[in-house]
Each structure stands twice: as structure tokens, then as C-alpha cells.
């Protein structure tokens, strides 16, 4: 029974990791942009949420009504005003520029907010749990987080496969120059993709910041978790990204059950093992 409990908790934690990874998966999948600043953008979003909550007095969930549009616009501006210019010159410029953004965000946050840890408070729901038969208690909040992850990816999947905008995203991902010949403005589309990525990043950040303390240096480890989730799942596959997150979550939960010091290491080991067995991930996007 104890092991089932561990699996369930790991699975729910994986939902959060899957959410972390959505933004990264989108920017790589559509723009081929490896965003080194992704983890710091999660943390930046958490601070934006903190400011919104403090200034408006809203709870963090209602605050999403302000936070998500803000980060959506921020993402659009970031891509259109800066990152688009890095995409013409090969693989290196986006890596260097996003690495620079990462450094700027970390130090900017340190300067503005200090090294203190912060947290968003949601009240009683944080500690409530549902007891399932067999005395297994499952936290309400992790359950909600997991549900949000599934709905987010389901929603994105609908966007990609059922709408004109989604078709255009897939087309620019395949061949941006030919897409231009059909009237698709790739700069605008890339910016929209980053805007959507940042909105999901902000959603992940708020759920993360309710669950755990954060500080200006919390970004890099989120980046690694998101990377691992994307790569385990297979590049460009959104459901795969969620599965990747779940694999990481379960590996960490199992590791933690063996010994608390093993939690993080177990996740990385699972990643390495999968990379050795299936170098292109569990569900690579098949293209022939």
C-alpha cells in the first residue's frame, strides 16, 4: 500500500513538472529556440504573482486573471523585441542571449527582492486532503495541479490540431520560409507562441509558488526538471512532456522513499537511464 501511495504522490508531482515543461516544449517545438532562461522565467513569474497578490489583495488563483495576461504580453514582447533577432544566425545566438537573460533575471530579482524566500498563500486548501480507501491520503492541491496540467496539455492539443492558428504554428515549425509564402507572418507567430508559452509558465509558477518556497536562485533547477521532462517525453510531443514529468516525479518519490537524500538524484538517474535506452525519448514525434 505504501508503494501505491508513493506512485500516486510521484505522479501528482509529475503534473507540476509537466507544467514547468510546457513553455520550454512550445518554444523548442515551434521556434527551435532552446530557452536557457526558462527556469528563471518561472521564478520571475512567481515574483510577478507575488506583486500582483500584494497590490490587489486577491488570492493567487483569482490573481491569475491579472498574472496570465501580463505574462502573455511579456512573452510576446520578449520574442518580438529580442529573441526573434537571435533566430537567424544558427544555434548559438539564442543560447547565449537566453543565458544572458537568465543571469539578468536572477540578479535583478536579487537586487529587487533580496535573497529571502517567498511563498504564495492560498489558505486551508493547501493542506486539505482526500482519503481514499486503504487509508491513502491525497492532497487536494496536488490533485488540482495535476488536473490543471492535463487540461492545459489537452487544451494545447486542441489548439494545435483543431484551429487555423494551430495549423499555422505547425507549419512555421516545419518550414517557416514556406509558411511566409502563404501569408503567415513568422515573427508574429513566433511571438504569439512565446506569449502562450509564458502564460503557461506563469500558471505553472503560481501553482509552484503555492506549493513551495521560492527565491531568486530557484530557476536553474526548474530549468533542468523542465528539460528532463521534455526530453524523456520526446521533443515536440505535448502528452509526452506530461509523461516525462510524471516519470521524473515518480522517480523522485521512489528515491525519497528509499532515503530523503536520494530524491533529486533519483530523478536525474531516471533521466539518464531513459536517455541511454531511448535517446529520442519515449514518444518522439514521428515524421517520415
Partner 1 sequence: MSLLSTQGLSAFYGDFQALFGIDVSVEEGETIAIIGANGAGKSTFLRAVAGALATRPEMVEYDGQPIGQRTPHELVRLGIAMVPEGRRLFPSLTVEENLALGGYCSRPGPWSLERVYALFPALKELRNLPAPSLSGGQQQMAAIGRALMCNPRLLLCDELSLGLAPVVIQNIYDCLGAITAEGTTVIIVEQDINRAIEASSRFYCFQEGRIGLTATKEGFDREAITAAYFGL
Q: Does 181 bind partner 1 (CB under 8 A)?
A: yes
Q: How far is the CB of 161 from partner 1 (least distance, A)?
A: 9
Write the DSSP string, 122-138.
Answer: --GGGT-EEEETTTEEE
Binding partner 1 by CB under 8 A: which of 1, 91, 131, 182? 182
Binding partner 1 by CB under 8 A: which of 167, 239, 268, 282? 167
First to last CA, the chain: 45
Q: Does 26 bind partner 1 (CB under 8 A)?
A: no
229-288 binders of partner 1 (CB under 8 A): 285, 287-288
Q: Does 173 bind partner 1 (CB under 8 A)?
A: yes
Q: Does 179 bind partner 1 (CB under 8 A)?
A: yes
The CA-based diameter of the chain, rounded to the nearest angstrom, is 61
Cβ contact 244:282 at 8 Å: yes
Of 57-65, 166-174, 193-201, 267-275, the window that binds partner 1 (rule: CB under 8 A) is 166-174
Residue 131 forms beta bridges with which residues?
137
Whole-angstrom distance, CA of residue 109 vs CA of residue 32 = 28
Whole-angstrom distance, CA of residue 98 vs CA of residue 140 = 36
CB-nearer residue toward partner 1: 92 or 287: 287
Q: How far is the CB of 163 from partner 1 (least distance, A)?
A: 11
Cβ contact 66:56 at 8 Å: yes
Binding partner 1 by CB under 8 A: which of 171, 235, 264, 275? 171
CB-nearer residue toward partner 1: 80 or 268: 80
Q: How far is the CB of 282 from partner 1 (least distance, A)?
A: 19
Q: Does 115 bind partner 1 (CB under 8 A)?
A: no
φ and ψ at residue 34, rounded to 5 degrees: -90, 110
Q: How far is the CB of 287 from partner 1 (least distance, A)?
A: 6
Residue 138 forms beta bridges with which residues?
130
Q: Does 90 bind partner 1 (CB under 8 A)?
A: no
| Binding letters toward partner 1, positions 186-225, x by CB under 8 A | x---------------------------------------
Whole-angstrom distance, CA of residue 59 vs CA of residue 121 = 7
Cβ contact 24:174 at 8 Å: no
Binding partner 1 by CB under 8 A: which of 168, 196, 206, 243? 168
CA distances from 104 to 166, 200, 217 (A): 32, 22, 12
- The H or E element that residue 11 is part of is helix 2-31
Q: Does 183 bind partner 1 (CB under 8 A)?
A: yes
Interface contacts to partner 1, rule CB under 8 A? 164, 167-168, 170-171, 173-175, 177-186, 285, 287-288
Amino acid at each position: 500500500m505504501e508503494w501505491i501511495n508513493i506512485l500516486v504522490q510521484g505522479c501528482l508531482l509529475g503534473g507540476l513538472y509537466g507544467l514547468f515543461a510546457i513553455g520550454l516544449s512550445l518554444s523548442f517545438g515551434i521556434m527551435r529556440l532552446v530557452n536557457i532562461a526558462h527556469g528563471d522565467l518561472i521564478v520571475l513569474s512567481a515574483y510577478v504573482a507575488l506583486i500582483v497578490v500584494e497590490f490587489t489583495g486577491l488570492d493567487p488563483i483569482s490573481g491569475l486573471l491579472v498574472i496570465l495576461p501580463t505574462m502573455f504580453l511579456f512573452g510576446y514582447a520578449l520574442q518580438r523585441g529580442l529573441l526573434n533577432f537571435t533566430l537567424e544566425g544558427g544555434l548559438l545566438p539564442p543560447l547565449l542571449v537566453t543565458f544572458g537573460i537568465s543571469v539578468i533575471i536572477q540578479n535583478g530579482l536579487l537586487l529587487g527582492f533580496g535573497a529571502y524566500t517567498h511563498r504564495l498563500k492560498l489558505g486551508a486548501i493547501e493542506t486539505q486532503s482526500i482519503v481514499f480507501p486503504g487509508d491513502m491520503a491525497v492532497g487536494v492541491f496536488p490533485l488540482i495541479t495535476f488536473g490543471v496540467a492535463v487540461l492545459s496539455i489537452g487544451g494545447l492539443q486542441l489548439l494545435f490540431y483543431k484551429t487555423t492558428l494551430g495549423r499555422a504554428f505547425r507549419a512555421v515549425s516545419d518550414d517557416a520560409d514556406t509558411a511566409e509564402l502563404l501569408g503567415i507572418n513568422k515573427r508574429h507567430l513566433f511571438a504569439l507562441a512565446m506569449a502562450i508559452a509564458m502564460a503557461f509558465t506563469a500558471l505553472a509558477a503560481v501553482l509552484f509558488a503555492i506549493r513551495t518556497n521560492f527565491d531568486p536562485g530557484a530557476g536553474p533547477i526548474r530549468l533542468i526538471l523542465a528539460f528532463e521532462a521534455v526530453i524523456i517525453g520526446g521533443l515536440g510531443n505535448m502528452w509526452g512532456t506530461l509523461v516525462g514529468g510524471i516519470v521524473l516525479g515518480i522517480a523522485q518519490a521512489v528515491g525519497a522513499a528509499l532515503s530523503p537524500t536520494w530524491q533529486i538524484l533519483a530523478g536525474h538517474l531516471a533521466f539518464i537511464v531513459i536517455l541511454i535506452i531511448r535517446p529520442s525519448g519515449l514518444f518522439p514525434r514521428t515524421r517520415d
